[in-house]
């Protein structure tokens, strides 16, 4: 790994030029943690593009080894890596593309251990690149219990389904996999790529879309796929959008990123830290805050006096954006959200 700031800045220069990302968004990416379930067809493009985007830590969970039949679509691997654990290719890709990014491999099968092993790495987002509903239901349940969103993709032949499930409602409507696909023996028996086939380039196309959605969620920009699903038909090259929930009126509320300078005013706003209690213990905010966890924002009136000015804060940014939107929609006077969250504030303090 390298920590040379000049190297990192030049390597990520092209997406730093995007107004929606800039230096602040690049810092949020560098401070983010993403868990990727599967280093196969979808993971083969998700992992390299997340590394290329500068996501600080990528934890890859896969218990499989490379097989010859994988190579029509799993471009993370090669003929020379047949028989080797797939996580080894993932780690090598990260080192090759972005040496400042930490890619950690976990060669194990996820099941009842999901909350323990995935929760231990404290991901901001889980990307589900698995190829069976058995694993997808495990990911859905575990991520819901951890309170983190799932960027979801499923492949079959020439088509795919792409969405973001967010049981906690942090980024949009609280929709889960089980709201769309009931956990039944019939659904679990849905055939996969081995039985139905898959065109390799479709896996690559969808993987890049999953990586893009992940970056958007981390940076806090654009319209995400929470509450809607894209169905891609590559054979006819058509994309259909299916609504999974009613549009959220909060999507029309715009909030702005603010710096700590707003706290130096004569009448500074109240800082509401929306992280979980254990996060605050591990990484306390470098300023006085009022702790109201995101999932308890409905009770914020018990803490915040009417007419109070509010700034929201989380670990890296996305939750505080959504919290600011929620509170603004509820009628509170929201100044904005602290750009980059606690990690950005700590990084700022370390260079002073």
State which fold the 250-350 domain adopts.
Oxidized Rhodanese; domain 1 (3.40.250)
Q: Which residue has 């319209």 as its token pair?
A: 223
Determine the pLDDT at residue 1.
Answer: 64
How many Cα atoms are found within 13 Å in the side-chain-facing hemisphere of 216? 16
Determine the pLDDT at residue 121.
Answer: 96
Q: Which residues pair with 226 in a beta bridge?
A: 164
What DSSP assignment string belongs to 155-213? EEBTEEEEEEE-TT-SSSS---HHHHS---HHHHT---HHHH-B-HHHHHHHHHHHHHH
Determine the pLDDT at residue 299.
Answer: 83
User: Which helix (H) or strand (E) segment is 291 a member of?
Assistant: strand 290-291
User: Which helix (H) or strand (E) segment is 30 a member of?
Assistant: helix 22-30
Determine the pLDDT at residue 22.
Answer: 84
- Out of 193, 244, 327, 338, the active site residue is 193
Query: What residue segments make up the domains of the chain, in order of their start?
Result: 5-247, 250-350
What DSSP assignment string belongs to 299-344? GGGGTSPTT-EEEEE-SSSHHHHHHHHHHHHTT-EEEEEETTHHHH
Count Cβ neighbours within 10 Å for each residue of 287-307 and write b for 16 or more, e otherwise.
Answer: eebebbbbeebeebeeebeee
* Distance of alpha carbon 323 from alpha carbon 329, whole angstroms: 10
Q: Is 314 part of the annotated catalytic residue set?
A: yes
For helices 43-53 and 200-219, angle between their N-to-C axes, nearest 10 degrees: 40
* Displacement of CA 50 from its chain's centroid (Å): 10
3-class secondary structure, 231: strand
3-class secondary structure, 222: coil
User: What count of other Cβ atoms lies within 10 Å of the Cβ of residue 277?
Assistant: 10
Find the length of the chain.
Answer: 352
Q: Which residues pair with 336 in a beta bridge?
A: 311
> Tens digit of pLDDT for each residue in 13-41?
999 988 788 888 898 899 999 999 999 99
Closest CA to 95 of 65, 34, 51: 51
- Out of 314, 327, 328, 335, the active site residue is 314
Determine the pLDDT at residue 134.
Answer: 95
* Distance of alpha carbon 292 from alpha carbon 333, whole angstroms: 16
Determine the pLDDT at residue 350.
Answer: 63
pLDDT < 50 positions in the chain: 250
* Distance of alpha carbon 207 from alpha carbon 188, whole angstroms: 22
Determine the pLDDT at residue 251.
Answer: 53
Q: Which residue has 């990014």 as its token pair?
A: 101
Determine the pLDDT at residue 247.
Answer: 59
Q: Is 141 part of the annotated catalytic residue set?
A: no
The dotted CATH code for 5-247 is 3.40.50.720
């Amino acid at each position: 790994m390298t920590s040379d700031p000049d190297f990192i800045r030049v390597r990520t220069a092209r997406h730093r030029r995007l107004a929606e990302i800039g230096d602040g968004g690049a810092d949020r990416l560098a401070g983010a943690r993403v868990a990727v379930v599967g280093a196969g067809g979808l993971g083969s493009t998700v992992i390299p593009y997340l590394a290329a985007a500068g996501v600080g830590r990528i934890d890859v969970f896969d218990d499989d080894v490379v097989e010859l039949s994988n190579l029509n679509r799993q471009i993370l691997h090669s003929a020379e890596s047949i028989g080797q654990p797939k996580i080894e290719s993932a780690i090598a890709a990260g080192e090759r593309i972005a040496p400042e990014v930490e890619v950690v491999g976990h060669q194990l099968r996820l099941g009842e251990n999901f909350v323990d092993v995935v929760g231990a790495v404290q991901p901001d987002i889980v990307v589900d690149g698995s190829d069976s509903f058995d694993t997808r239901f495990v990911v859905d349940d575990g991520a819901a219990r951890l309170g983190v969103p799932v960027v979801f993709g499923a492949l079959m032949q020439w088509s795919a389904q792409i969405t973001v499930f967010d049981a906690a409602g942090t980024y949009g409507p609280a929709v889960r996999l089980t709201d769309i696909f009931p956990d039944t023996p019939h659904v679990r028996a849905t055939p996969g790529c081995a039985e139905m086939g898959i065109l390799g380039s479709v896996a690559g196309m969808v993987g890049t879309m999953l990586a893009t959605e992940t970056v958007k969620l981390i940076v806090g920009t654009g319209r995400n796929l929470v509450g809607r699903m894209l169905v891609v038909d590559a054979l006819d090259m058509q994309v259909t959008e299916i609504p999974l929930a009613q549009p959220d009126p909060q999507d029309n509320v715009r909030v702005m990123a603010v710096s700590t300078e707003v706290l130096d005013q004569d009448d500074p706003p109240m800082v509401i830290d929306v992280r979980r209690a254990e996060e605050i213990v591990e990484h306390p905010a470098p300023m006085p805050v009022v702790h109201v966890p995101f999932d308890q924002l409905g009770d914020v009136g018990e803490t915040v006096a009417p007419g109070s000015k509010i700034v929201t804060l989380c670990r890296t940014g996305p939750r505080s954006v959504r919290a600011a939107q929620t509170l603004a929609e509820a009628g509170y006077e929201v100044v904005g959200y602290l750009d980059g969250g606690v990690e950005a504030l700590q990084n700022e303090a370390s260079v002073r």
